[in-house]
Every structure is written in structure tokens, then in C-alpha cells.
Amino acid sequence: MTKLNMLEGVLFGVFVVTTNALVVMNTGWVFLVALWNSVFVGIIPIVSVVTIVSFLAFALLEDHLGGIRRRLDGVQP
């Protein structure tokens, strides 16, 4: 269970970091709109995919851990 809790924390951390990176890149995009050869053009799709995947993995793991916690507490869904 501790490995799953650690995985949950890591997935949430990745989600938060990548979401913040997307916000920073989108904010910075206004200033870099004239530089179409910017490094952000290649990074944005990668960060977007990592954000979506980490969020979905975190949500699924959170649901799984919630079910385990409810069963351990003796609460029926």
C-alpha cells in the first residue's frame, strides 16, 4: 500500500508540474508569437500528453486507493 501511496504522490506531482509548465508556456506564448522556431513549439505537445496521461493515471489510482481504503474501513460502496 505504501508503494501505491508513493506512486499516487509522484503522479500528482507530475500532473501539477506539467500543468504549471503548460500555463507558463501559454503565458510566454504571447511574448514569443513572432518566434515560430521557438523551442516551445516542440515541447508543448509532449508536455500536453504527459499532463493528460499523468492526470488520468492519478485519477485512476486515486479511485483504486479510495476503494481499498473503504474496504479496509468496512464501508460498503
60-69 residue pLDDT tens: 888 888 888 8
d(CA 60, CA 45): 23
DSSP code of 11? H
CA 29, 51, 47, 24 torsion: positive or negative? positive
Predicted local confidence at residue 33, as pLDDT: 62
Predicted local confidence at residue 30, as pLDDT: 58
Find the helix packing angle between 2-29 and 40-73, rounded to 10°.
150
Predicted local confidence at residue 57, as pLDDT: 85
pTM for this prediction: 0.56
- pLDDT, tens only, 1-52: 688 778 888 888 888 888 888 777 776 665 566 555 666 667 777 777 787 7
Helix (H) or strand (E) holding 49: helix 40-73
- pLDDT, tens only, 26-40: 766 655 665 556 666
Q: What are phi and psi of 74, to 5 degrees?
A: 80, 20
CB atoms within 10 A of CB 68: 12
